[in-house]
Amino acid sequence: MDLTCSGCESEICSTDQYMKCSSCKKYYDLVCLNIPVQSFKNYKPEHKESWNCPSCLCSLPKSDNSRFSVGIASQPPIKTMLSNNCENVNMKRGSRVKTTEQESTTTDTSLLLSEIRLLRQEVSDLKQQNTDIGLKLSNFSDALNQKLEDFEKKMCAKDEEIILLKSSILQLEHKLNLSEQETMKTELEIIGIPEENNENLCHITMLTANKIGVQLNDLDIDEVYRIGQKTH
Q: What is the mean pLDDT of residues 170-192?
A: 84
- Domain spans in the chain, listed from the N-terminal domain onward: 18-97, 188-232
Cβ atoms within 10 Å, residue 150: 10
Q: Which of the pair, 184 or 12, is modelled with greater confidence?
A: 12
Helix, strand, coil shares of the chain as percentages rounded to 5?
60, 5, 35
pLDDT, tens only, 48-95: 888 888 888 887 766 544 444 444 434 444 444 444 443 444 444 444
Q: What is the mean pLDDT of residues 89-102?
A: 49
Cβ atoms within 10 Å, residue 113: 10
> What single letter denotes the amino acid at residue 145?
N
The radius of gyration computed from the CA coordinates of the chain, to the nearest angstrom, equals 64
Strands (E), 56-137: none
> Which residues sit opposite 11 in a β-bridge?
4
Question: Any idea which of 75-79, 150-154, 214-218 has the lowest mean pLDDT?
Answer: 75-79
- Model confidence, pTM: 0.30
